[in-house]
Amino acid sequence: MIQNILSGIKAYTGAFSLISKLKLWKYFAIPILISVLTATIVGFTAYGLSDNIGVFLAKIWIWDWGKETITTITSFIGGIFVLVIGLILYKHIILALSAPFMSPVSEKIEIHFNGKLNHNHRKTSFQEQLWRAIRINFRNLGKELLITLPILLLKFIPVVNIFSTVLLFLIQSYYAGFGNMDYTLERHLDYKESINFVGNNKGVSIGNGIVFMLCLLIPVVGIIIVLPLSVTAASVKTVALLNKQNERTVF
């Protein structure tokens, strides 16, 4: 698993130069705009809701003594809660809406490495690519929320909350990498096959998503470069994995 995670991270090496070499920057214009607008909306919404959630949670403490301290703590926890949920929503929104624009990027990268598209290449329209991405990300959103919400409750437990933070980061990373890999998988595999493929390559997905999530920690610049870098890296790695799978099938 660790080796696969490192492999997913290593795929980012040379991503910028590959984008420039294949002249892919023009394909990222609209996805970058989607990313900036989504981040702005989610960010302002999260900022406005964090205090409200903190006050709501503080009402659980019915005693007067320590009320101010509890309110401060719950406001902090509320902020983390909203931030985590906001990141999840932001991630799946941009991954879904960017699909029709990222598919050509993945396709050009595949042609660059293979010389041509795989013979199993599935031709899909703009609408089909968008619908598949919405379907995949809606499915992933539901699963991620079901896993994330219980883990957020661990934030109330000292020491344990440190491990829960790491676990939350890895879960977010996995589903981010999942979305990035599917831009390539949609040409080769159907819905269920893609889910199984990523499930069998969890480490690669997590590795790709780790850098994706770290990019978002960079103020302003992060939401601009996150898609170009992560999609390019995921496409390079996914094409290599599909090539290996096809070789095993042949032999």
pLDDT in tens, the chain (251 residues): 889 999 999 999 989 999 999 999 999 999 999 999 998 888 787 777 766 666 666 666 666 666 667 666 666 777 777 778 888 899 999 999 999 999 899 999 999 998 876 655 566 778 888 899 999 999 999 999 999 888 877 766 766 677 888 898 999 999 999 999 999 999 888 899 999 999 999 999 999 999 999 999 898 899 999 999 999 999 999 999 998 887 765 55
Q: Which of 17, 42, 11, 35 is nearest to 227 (CA)?
A: 35
d(CA 70, CA 169): 26
d(CA 64, CA 151): 29
d(CA 31, CA 25): 11
pLDDT, position 55: 65
d(CA 164, CA 198): 23
Q: Which amino acid is at 63?
A: W
